[in-house]
Amino acid sequence: MQLTKDTNILIIGLGVMGGSYARALSKQGYRIRCITKDASDIAYALDEGMIEAGATEIREDWISEAELIVFALYPLTFISWMEENGHLLKKGTLITDVSGVKSGVISKIQALLPEGVEFISAHPMAGRERSGVAFSDDSVFLGANYIVVPTEKNTEEAILLCEELGRTLGFSRISRLSAKKHDSMIAFLSQLTHCIAVTLMNCNDSKDMEKYTGDSFRDLTRIAKINENMWSELFLLNKDALLAEMDAFAEEFGAFRKLLEDEDVEGMKEKMRASTAKRLKFDKPKGNILP
Amino acid sequence: MQLTKDTNILIIGLGVMGGSYARALSKQGYRIRCITKDASDIAYALDEGMIEAGATEIREDWISEAELIVFALYPLTFISWMEENGHLLKKGTLITDVSGVKSGVISKIQALLPEGVEFISAHPMAGRERSGVAFSDDSVFLGANYIVVPTEKNTEEAILLCEELGRTLGFSRISRLSAKKHDSMIAFLSQLTHCIAVTLMNCNDSKDMEKYTGDSFRDLTRIAKINENMWSELFLLNKDALLAEMDAFAEEFGAFRKLLEDEDVEGMKEKMRASTAKRLKFDKPKGNILP
C-alpha cells in the first residue's frame, strides 16, 4: 500500500490533533472522511474545507471502505472504541493513532485487532495548550518530531507508510523508537516537566506573587495550565516510567539541597556548570527546521 | 536631595547591570562617572557615550564628590568593597545597590557605613542571561519591577529618591518590600526556579534526548544555562529562605507522586485544576507594560 491522493483515509475523533491532521492532508488534495461525536465540529470542518464528509454515528460502510484509519482519540477512548467496534475493521486496513504513551496502548489494541488488520502506532510530538477542532493548526507540525513506534508484529510496509504519513503531514523529523524507549523519553521530556510545573504552581500560597513575577517563573509554569483529563490519563498509562523519572528528579533535587545546606559552594557550582553544558545541546535549531 | 541632571552620580562596577544603569541615565542627560576593574570596559562605555569618565583605581575625589553612588557589584564584592573603602564615603552621600538578596547584605552594609552616610537598598528585577558591559541594555527595564527595600534606619527622603531613580531608569512598577518579604519572594519566584532547572537538566543522562525535545522541556531548562559564580553566591546569602521554598516544593512534589502511585486520578485532576487556575493570574500583562 502506498499513500496517494486516492487513498481512502478516515479520521476518527476530530479534536485539536485530528483537526490538524485533516487540515494538513486536505490542503494537499487528500479526501478525508471523519467520524466524531459532535455535529458542530463536523459542520466547522466542512465549512473550513478540512473534510469531505463527516458523521457522528458509526458508519460501517466508511470503516470497511477505509484503507487508512487515524484514531485521534485519547488513549482510553481509543481502547474502548476498539472493544466495541474493532470487529468492523476489514482485512487489509491499516490503522494508526496519535497517543502520547505507547506500551500501555499498543498491546491492548493489538489484542483487539481482527485478522488481517495492522496497527502501526505513531506519536506526533506537536502539542497545543488548547483543545478542540477550532484550535487545530497544522503549522505546529513544522519543526516537530513524528515518532513511529513499531513492534515485532508490524510489517516493514506499514512502518514505511506511517513514516510517509508523518512527512506528508509536514513533520520535520521522522524517527523510530521502541515502545519502551518512547515511553521513558516521554516520561522525562514531557510528563516530568508537567509534574514539575503543576507542583511549582501549587507549592506556595503567598499573596501578590504575580506582581513580582519575571520571565523565569512564567516559563517554568506555562504548562501548569493543563488539560487535566488528558494528562491524568497519560500519566496513569505511563505510571512506571514516570515514577522512575520523578524519583530520579527528587533524588537530584535532594542532592542539590544538601549542597546548599552544607554551604558547599564548589559543589553547587559544579552542578551549575554541568547543567549549563548539557543545556547547550538542547538549544532550538535555527529556523525551527530540523535536518 | 532631589535627583536632577546635576546630581553627581558614581557607578561602581560596570557589568551588565551597571552598564544598563549607565545607558539609561546617560541617554537622559545625566553625567555618570564610573569605577570598575577593567580598562577595556571603561573604553567601551566611553565609546558608547554611556559615561563621562571612568577609572580602574579608587578615586577618592570622585567618591567624596558623589551625591549618589550605585554599587552594581555582586553582593560579597560589595561587602568587601565597603570593608576596605567604606571610610572614604562622605557625610551626606546616599548609596544604593542592585543586589538580588537583601537580609544578608543590608545589615552588613549598614554596619560599615560612616556617620551621615545612608544606604537605601534596591533590587532591579531585570536579569540577563549574559554578563559583561557589552550585554548591557536598558530596554530590559521596560515592563520590569524595581523593588526598594527600606529598613527602619532609612529616611523617607532617601526612599523617595531611590523610587525616583527606579522610575528614571525606566522600570514600569516601583514597589517597597521589607528585606524578609523580598527574600522569601525571590527564593520562590527566582531561586527555586533556577534550582529546578539545574536539577531537571542534570537528573537524566540518557543519550539523544535533545532529538526529541519540545518547547516544554526547553522552557523549563532555559535558565539551566546559569552564571555559577553569581547564583551560588545569591543562593548562599539567602540560604534559609531558599531551603524553606525547596522543602515546600519537595513536599508538594512528593504528594503528587503519591497520587500517581495510588492511581488517584481524581486527586491528580484536582492538583491540575488548581495549578491551571493559579497560573492564569501570572499571565504577562498585554504589551509588557505594567500599570
User: Which value does ipTM take for this structure?
Assistant: 0.89
**Per-residue pLDDT for A291 more than 70?**
no
- Nearest CB to B249; choose among A199, A231, A268: A199
pLDDT given for residue A152 in this prediction: 96
To probe the interface with B, which of A233, A251, A253 has the most B CB atoms within 10 Å?
A: A253
Phi, psi of B102 (to 5 degrees): -125, -50
| Cα dihedral: A209, A215, A218, A220 (round 10) | -120
Say if the Cβ atoms of B199 and A175 lie within 8 Å.
no
- Which grid coordinates belong to B126? 531585570
**Mean of pLDDT values over B26-48:** 97
Q: Distance between CA A21 and CA A9 in Å, rounded?
A: 11
Where does residue A151 rank: exposed (0-12), middle (13-18), buried (19+ CB within 10 A)?
middle
Q: Which residues contact A146 (CB under 8 A, 6 or more apart)?
A: A122, A123, A124, A125, A163, A166, A167, A169, A171, A173, A174, A175
pLDDT tens digit string along A71-127? 999 999 999 999 999 999 999 999 999 999 999 999 999 999 999 999 999 999 987
Name the least confident of A124-133, B152-161, B184-193: A124-133
Q: Distance between CA B39 and CA A268 in Å, rounded?
A: 31
Positive or negative: CA dihedral B87, B88, B92, B97: negative
**Mean of pLDDT values over A255-275:** 98
- Nearest CB to A189; choose among B193, B212, B273: B212
Where does residue B269 rank: exposed (0-12), middle (13-18), buried (19+ CB within 10 A)?
middle
pLDDT given for residue B186 in this prediction: 96
Phi, psi of A127 (to 5 degrees): -85, 160
Name the least confident of A27-41, A121-135, A180-194, B267-281: A121-135
A135 interfacial to chain B (CB closer than 8 Å): no
pLDDT given for residue B286 in this prediction: 58
Confidence of residue B131 (pLDDT cuts 50, 70, 90): confident
pLDDT given for residue A285 in this prediction: 64
**Per-residue pLDDT for B181 more than 50?**
yes
pLDDT given for residue A286 in this prediction: 58
A226 interfacial to chain B (CB closer than 8 Å): yes
Q: Which domains does chain A have, with CATH numbers?
A: 9-177 (3.40.50.720), 182-284 (1.10.3660.10)
Residues from chain A contacting residue B104 (CB–CB below 8 Å): none
Q: Distance between CA B126 and CA B166 in Å, rounded?
A: 12
Q: Distance between CA A283 and CA A1 in Å, rounded?
A: 38
**Mean of pLDDT values over B83-100:** 97
Task: Give residue B118's Cα distance to chain centre.
Answer: 20
pLDDT given for residue A213 in this prediction: 86
**Mean of pLDDT values over A137-154:** 94
pLDDT given for residue A175 in this prediction: 95
Say if the Cβ atoms of A243 and B260 lie within 8 Å.
yes
A280 interfacial to chain B (CB closer than 8 Å): yes
Say if the Cβ atoms of A219 and B220 lie within 8 Å.
yes
Mean pLDDT, chain A, rounded, equals 94
Closest Cα in chain B, distance from residue A180 (Å): 13
Residues from chain A contacting residue B226 (CB–CB below 8 Å): 272, 275-276
Whole-prediction pTM value? Answer: 0.89
Residues from chain A contacting residue B185 (CB–CB below 8 Å): 206, 209, 212
pLDDT given for residue B166 in this prediction: 98
**Per-residue pLDDT for B291 more than 80?**
no
A258 interfacial to chain B (CB closer than 8 Å): no
- Nearest CB to B200; choose among A127, A184, A249: A249
pLDDT tens digit string along A207-252? 888 888 888 999 999 999 999 999 999 999 999 999 999 999 999 9
Phi, psi of B71 (to 5 degrees): -90, 105
Return the H-helix or E-strand segment holding A71: strand A68-71
Closest Cα in chain B, distance from residue A101 (Å): 14
Confidence of residue B241 (pLDDT cuts 50, 70, 90): very high
